[in-house]
Amino acid sequence: MPKRFVVAASEFPGLPRFTAGFELAEALTAASQHLHETLTPDGTLRTAARLAVDILPGADHAGISEFERGSTPRTLACTDDVVRAAEAGHTGGEEHAHWDRLWDSPVASIADSEADDGGDALAALGLRSALSLRLRADRRRLTVLTAYARKPGAFDEDATRIGRLFTAHVSIALDTATVHEQLTEAMHTRDLIGQATGILMERQGVDAAAAFDSLVRASQRENVKLRAIARRIVDTHNTP
């Protein structure tokens, strides 16, 4: 189950809320810098949710959720509990029907939750309009960034255009953070397995190849990952 984060929708230094007089390229450049300062996918998602409120004209709240076909959305990051309630369907369990359009389109919106297909759930939370943008998609899972506004009709064509540009930056930063996390994990795993192999060499009086084979056999016998076996050996060795 993905972690859930709530972050304050405060402005970033050097990134005022987007206005007509603030150059789009400058705003996106500043946003991209903040996104690429994160080192983990979770950090990127938290930053993106906060930035969305600052950079998308009309946005009051924002959240990033993941869902599979026919499943309840899981909030990965949000600016406040209003978004958490809206995206988790805590107000009567109503589905976000407009999100279904994101399987085939990069954008879906609700102009007015009291008259459009947003149902009573959003309106009950004081959210009148929404702009949803696809971040990631495969055959069974979507990751969606949604900006919410307390006013109806808050998101026009300009907001949609800016949103699509912004999510492109978010997607690149998310991919970069994911690769960084995977490489870091791989390095830690290599070091851990190396430590465990050294312990077994000393304990069993064997060479490195035989010690590694012993780790592999234990992993297969217990049906657990090699990293877990190595961690157990290292932790046991280091316990007084």
pLDDT in tens, 176-185: 999 888 888 8
pLDDT over 70 at 234, yes or no:
yes
pTM over 0.85: no
Please give the angle made by the CA atoms of 100, 44 and 162, to the nearest 5 degrees: 60
pLDDT in tens, 158-196: 999 999 999 999 999 999 999 888 888 888 889 999 999
Share of the chain above pLDDT 90, in %: 41
The reply to whether 221 falls in a domain is yes
pLDDT over 90 at 68, yes or no:
no
The reply to whether 153 falls in a domain is yes
pLDDT of residue 115: 80
Q: Of the residues 137, 161, 181, which one is the last residue of a structural domain?
A: 181
Among 47-56, 110-119, 222-231, name the most confident range: 47-56
Query: Are 98 and 49 in a shared domain?
Result: yes
pLDDT of residue 100: 82
- Alpha carbon distance 203, 214 (integer Å): 12
Q: Give me the mean pLDDT over the 11-20 stretch.
A: 50
- Alpha carbon distance 151, 66 (integer Å): 25
Among 2-11, 19-28, 134-143, name the most confident range: 134-143
Between these two residues, 63 and 99, which has the higher pLDDT value?
63
Interacting residues of 107 by C-beta distance below 8 A, sequence separation 6+: 131, 132, 133, 134, 160, 163, 164
Query: Are 158 and 51 in a shared domain?
Result: yes
Q: Of the residues 136, 166, 181, which one is the last residue of a structural domain?
A: 181
The reply to whether 176 falls in a domain is yes
Rg (CA), the chain: 23
The reply to whether 45 falls in a domain is yes
CATH number of 222's domain? 1.10.10.10
pLDDT of residue 172: 93
The total of structural domains in the chain comes to: 2
Q: Of the residues 133, 153, 181, which one is the last residue of a structural domain?
A: 181
The reply to whether 15 falls in a domain is no
Query: Are 140 and 234 in a shared domain?
Result: no
Cβ distance 169 to 35 under 8 Å? yes
- Average pLDDT score, the chain: 83
The reply to whether 16 falls in a domain is no
Q: State the residue range of the domain holding 228.
A: 185-238
